[in-house]
Chains A and B, each alone.
Chain A
Amino acid sequence: ETGVTQSPTHLIKTRGQQVTLRCSSQSGHNTVSWYQQALGQGPQFIFQYYREEENGRGNFPPRFSGLQFPNYSSELNVNALELDDSALYLCASSLGQGVRGTPLHFGNGTRLTVT
């Protein structure tokens, strides 16, 4: 069983630039969620994708967007980077939409630093 993998592991960008983060879900999982974790804080929900459609979104501006592909892998895109976007970005996969019955399986994250 292949776990959740994220790339890159670390990234440094300049304010105003754009970034794409990638996630491969655990085999057999059809749902991907993205979370942002600022230093010393708990993760905050960005959005979830189920069968290639956005299936819920947190309080993040439209410059945060995503995609899910037919193989259930996913991308998180952030435009017009701001300093406050510096954080650990976590991808989590699960089976079926929602979080009522199944736990999330997290990748090790991408550490994004915006300077």
Chain B
Amino acid sequence: SQQGEEDPQALSIQEGENATMNCSYKTSINNLQWYRQNSGRGLVHLILIRSNEREKHSGRLRVTLDTSKKSSSLLITASRAADTASYFCATALIQGAQKLVFGQGTRLTINP
């Protein structure tokens, strides 16, 4: 079963708007990571947030982590057409340190 669940499964917005994606998970984590995947290609790492951190920024990206609710959100500000992709959250568990457990992803479409 998937550890992470993203919400929404699909999101379509106009260029320039902000996009927010949410991720929930079930068991305690060491860190949570967000990745982007353009159609049919490999995943690109966006940002890593550790379990003792609450918020992190990278350029137009803002990630929050609430370990009490076992949830995270990814905000992309001032979206661009090039942001069109699938976005995945992935958790590194405290046990089983060798793997990342991915959610099913959010498909983001930016309309020009």
Contact = CB atoms under 8 A, between A and B. Distances in A.
Interface string B95-112: 011111111110000000
Nearest to B96: A56
Chain B: number of interface residues, binned into ranges: 20 to 34
A90 B43 contact: yes
A108 B41 contact: yes
Nearest to B31: A100
Chain A: number of interface residues, binned into ranges: 20 to 34
A107 B2 contact: no
A42 B97 contact: no
A88 interface: yes
Given A33-B98, A56-B96, A103-B33, A42 B105 contact: yes
A47 to B, nearest CB: 8
A17 B92 CA distance: 34
A56 B93 CA distance: 13
B59 interface: no
B45 A105 contact: yes
A49 B45 CA distance: 20
Shortest 5 CB-CB distances between A and B: which pairs? Answer: A56-B98, A42-B102, A106-B42, A103-B45, A45-B99
Contact of A98 (B33, B44, B90, B98): B98
B75 interface: no
A108 B40 CA distance: 8
